[in-house]
Chains A and B, each alone.
Chain A
Amino acid sequence: MIEVNDLTKVFRKPIRGNGLSGMVKTLFSRKYDEVRAVDGISFSVPDGEIVGYIGANGAGKSTTIKMMCGILTPTSGTVLIDGVEPYRKRRQVAQHIGVVFGQKTQLWWDIPLIESFKVLKEIYQVSDADYRERMDFLGEVLDITRFLSQPVRTLSLGERMRADLAASMLHNPRILFLDEPTIGMDVLVKEKIRLAIRALNKTYGTSVVLTTHDMTDIENLCSRIILLEKGSILYDGPLKSLKTRFGNIKTLTLTVPADIHAETAPVLSPEVAVSEEDGRLLLRFDADKIALEQVVQYAFRDLRAMDMKIAEISIGDVVKTILEQQEAEHAEKV
């Protein structure tokens, strides 16, 4: 159980000039800029839930994760991991959480992977029986057995990430923080990692907090998402409701004869937005306001469509729209 209450992290940065002379001036200046990386957020994650923690670059995701796992001390507010504040009782909490930062490995660079695991076994005081059981499980779901004797340095990015995931699960943590675990992976590795996360969640009931820019990760794994922007929570709730936040948006992609164009096409209703892309017509509409059937008929009869694809709005589009709206509002204020 994670409880986050009014959590805030402010970084104080000296205001810097540009170039060498500016940097020299900075040395004698006492002006500071305050960056509110995380600004009074609250949420809680019950046991066994997989939460997608998403937002643009620099929205404060990693900062929150770092506070939740005890690396950073909050400026104000609290984080409780099973009732304990991680930055105060770091060691106690560390025993029960696993963390993977996609950008940094936590394995020793130049020793065989299995040696890293042996050290971690001692660090987390994993019993021999548990260790064997865990290694069997992880070896299977993450497919790491093949390269256990290779130094981490020689592993590919995908292999290294799987190794890092395995290392973070070795002590059977109750909560797993994954900061962009699929960054830079190919589709197959991504799929493997998702399967492993799901298997772990199912087998051990591990809660997972996942940050990612890959919406497929979110749709595959998370029942709930938290959307962060400029340090504040924009949305916290089920994936489904976010999807229908802008209505039941559907997009029809049509292959039409060459003489049909978006500007000149007959209009069905102002509810249907018509646009053109790569010689195809795109019809975007809210299926709750105008019946799908009606639009399909219109497509075949008035637009003489030869082929058609119906797509629901993707979660990525929704997030993109929300973030764009936010940016526009922000620009207006300034």
Chain B
Amino acid sequence: MRYVHLYFTCIKRSMISRLEYKKDTIVALFSFFFSNLCSLAAIYFILQAIPALSGYSLPEVGFFYGFSMLPISLDHLFSDEFWLVAYRRVKDGDMDMHFLRPVPVMFQVFAETFQPEGFGELILGVALITVCALNLTVNVTFGAIVVLCVGAVFGAIIITSLKVAMSALAFIFKRSGPLLQVIYNFSSYAKYPLAIYPGLIRALLIFVLPFGLFISLPVDTLLYGKYNPWLLSLAIIGCAAVFFALATWIWTICERRYESTGS
């Protein structure tokens, strides 16, 4: 309970930082709408160019794309600071302040930034899947809705865990941004139906970097009833729990290796 309260205090602080510079805020708001408009346009052009992908229709591909934006945007909302840790903050010895406070370092990194840009992607994703779903004739079951929600929320936890684990390596290597980038980029594979990929990549996307597990498989379940929604939900939740536990463990181990910089 204390941490929930503390989290909101810190987030408020992050928002104040955001609003401190008037002109910057106006520019940020403007570019926020503009960049979302651009990504919407980009999606539209991509979908138009590929009317059918391996037998998938335009609304189907659109649905995959839109759904993939949900966990990614949720992760974006809450864990943007880890990018800075991986690329810059450890290298610059800029983590000292967190080590001096009686709160877990990982918690402080989460609480350091709240990225409202994520909302734009979230809204865009929801809009896209709604529009595409209206153009599809699918038998929407309760189970399918549940597995989609689980996929979005616990998928976000899995992405965040990967981010935490990769950025923790910066404590050892000083800079782990490029590594984090490589892992993160795998999420773009999951924007399309898994069926278009060769078996090896498919296996990789389900069992190793499970973007496919929480993006493609739930959509397959909704559109074609391929999997049992309850078992799949359970698998995703279990996977998220394991990933988060592992990430926390890796972070704790690596944290002790922090060396700061000379002063």
Contacts and interface: CB of A to CB of B under 8 A. Distances in A.
Interface of A: 11, 58, 62, 66, 69-73, 87, 90-92, 94-95, 97, 99, 101-104, 106, 108-112, 115-116, 118-119, 122-125, 151, 179-180
B256 interface: yes
A87 B96 contact: no
Contacts of A95: 102
B102 A123 contact: yes
Contacts of A102: 263
Contacts of A119: 9-10, 13
B99 A71 contact: yes
B20 to A, nearest CB: 5
Contacts of B9: 118-119, 122
Contacts of A111: 13, 16-17, 20
A69 B100 contact: yes
Contacts, number: 78
24 contacts: A11-B259, A58-B262, A66-B260, A70-B99, A70-B100, A71-B96, A91-B103, A94-B99, A94-B102, A95-B102, A101-B96, A101-B263, A103-B263, A104-B94, A108-B13, A108-B17, A110-B17, A111-B13, A112-B16, A118-B9, A118-B13, A119-B10, A122-B5, A151-B20
B22 interface: no
A179 to B, nearest CB: 7
B23 interface: no
Interface string B246-263: 000000000011111011
Interface string B222-263: 000000000000000000000000000000000011111011
Nearest to B262: A62
Contacts of A69: 99-100
Nearest to A106: B97
Which 10 A-B pairs have CB atoms at the shortest separation, nearest pair first? Answer: A94-B102, A106-B97, A95-B102, A103-B263, A71-B99, A122-B9, A91-B102, A110-B20, A111-B16, A119-B13
Interface of B: 2, 5-6, 9-10, 13, 16-17, 20-21, 93-94, 96-97, 99-104, 256-260, 262-263
A225 to B, nearest CB: 20
Nearest to B258: A71
A104 B100 contact: no
A103 B257 CA distance: 22
Contact of A110 (B2, B21, B99, B103): B21
Nearest to B13: A119
Given A71-B96, A115-B13, A123-B6, A87 B102 contact: no
Contacts of A90: 99
A123 B263 contact: no
Q: Is the interface of B mostly helix, strand, loop or mixed?
A: loop
Contacts of A180: 263
A99 B100 contact: yes
B124 to A, nearest CB: 29
A72 B22 CA distance: 39
Contacts of A115: 13, 16
Nearest to A37: B262
Given A71-B96, A179-B263, A87 B256 contact: yes
Contacts of A101: 96, 263
A33 to B, nearest CB: 15
Contact of B96 (A106, A112, A125): A106
A289 B258 CA distance: 53
A103 B93 CA distance: 11
A122 B17 CA distance: 18
Contacts of B21: 110
A292 to B, nearest CB: 43
B101 A71 contact: no
Contact of B263 (A72, A92, A104, A125): A104
A73 B10 CA distance: 28
Nearest to B7: A122
B6 A122 contact: yes
B102 A72 contact: no
A94 B256 contact: no
Contact of A92 (B20, B102, B104, B260): B102
A104 B96 contact: yes
Contact of B103 (A70, A104, A123): A123
Given A66-B96, A106-B100, 17 more contacts: A62-B262, A71-B260, A91-B104, A94-B102, A95-B102, A97-B100, A101-B96, A104-B96, A104-B97, A110-B17, A119-B10, A122-B10, A123-B101, A124-B102, A125-B2, A151-B20, A180-B263
B50 to A, nearest CB: 42
Contacts of A92: 102
A81 B96 CA distance: 18
Contacts of B99: 69-71, 90, 94
A214 to B, nearest CB: 16
A205 to B, nearest CB: 21
